Amino acid sequence: MNFGDVFKSKFLSQVGSISPLDALVTLAVAIGIGLVIFFIYKKTFSGVMYSSSFNMSLLLMVVITAVIIMTISSNVVLSLGMVGALSIIRFRTVIKDPVDIMYLFWAISMGIIVGAHQYIFALICVAVIAVLCFVMAILKKKDKMYLVIVRYRHGSSANVEKALKSVGGKVRNKAVSKAGIETIVEVNTKVADSDFVEKLLSINGVVSAVLVNYNGEYAE
């Protein structure tokens, strides 16, 4: 049998029927899993600005992917055409947070599993990944970094450095100019409070002291 005979064979023209009950069950499971991903993303989000449209797209992506998989599984020719149609789609939205990419793959994979009618496996996967997401979110909150930005005059360097060393501060940046000195120090979460900032402000020569929550990429 050559390549042409394969395309002439009857199995390519066979279309499997999708019962209304199967379609409703698949859509219901896809919507349920999509809602789980929606609420987990909303509860564990720790970025700069929460995007409700992106979160809604995760819910819809599970449902749409499940519908596509369910449709192409009933017809080989339709599946080949769908692959060709999807190959010309180009996504231009820039995703800055790697965690958002993880959620996109999670939504797509859940849609594929549900569309293939592997409901039990889909529920197990979404439960395990949901627990991991909450655990990572809790660990991330406990591992927060804080930066203290202190601006002071040249004559106050010794007193400011002594106060920062007393709390184990690590200097990340130091800018010196004729107007004064600006020092950025990473401090422990146990000492990152308003009392510590007020202590710095009480030092003679300190112009300002700012406490900033920092996640390694951006300041909150």
Domains of the chain, with CATH numbers? 8-142 (no CATH), 145-214 (3.30.70.60)
Q: Is-contact 181 174, C-beta < 8 A?
A: yes
Q: What is the DSSP letter of 219?
A: B
Amino acid at 158: A
82-91, 93-102, 188-197, range with the lowest pLDDT: 82-91
Q: Per-residue pLDDT tens for 132-188?
A: 988 888 777 665 677 788 888 887 888 888 877 777 777 778 888 878 888 888 776
User: What mean pLDDT, rounded, does the chain reach?
Assistant: 77
Amino acid at 3: F
pLDDT at position 148 is 81
Most distant CA pair in the chain, distance: 91
Alpha helices (H) along 45-94: 52-72, 76-86
pTM: 0.64
What does the alpha-carbon distance between residue 28 and residue 58 come to, in Å, rounded to a whole number? 15
Q: Per-residue pLDDT tens for 33-46?
A: 999 999 999 888 87
Q: Of residues 185 and 24, which shows the higher confidence score?
A: 24
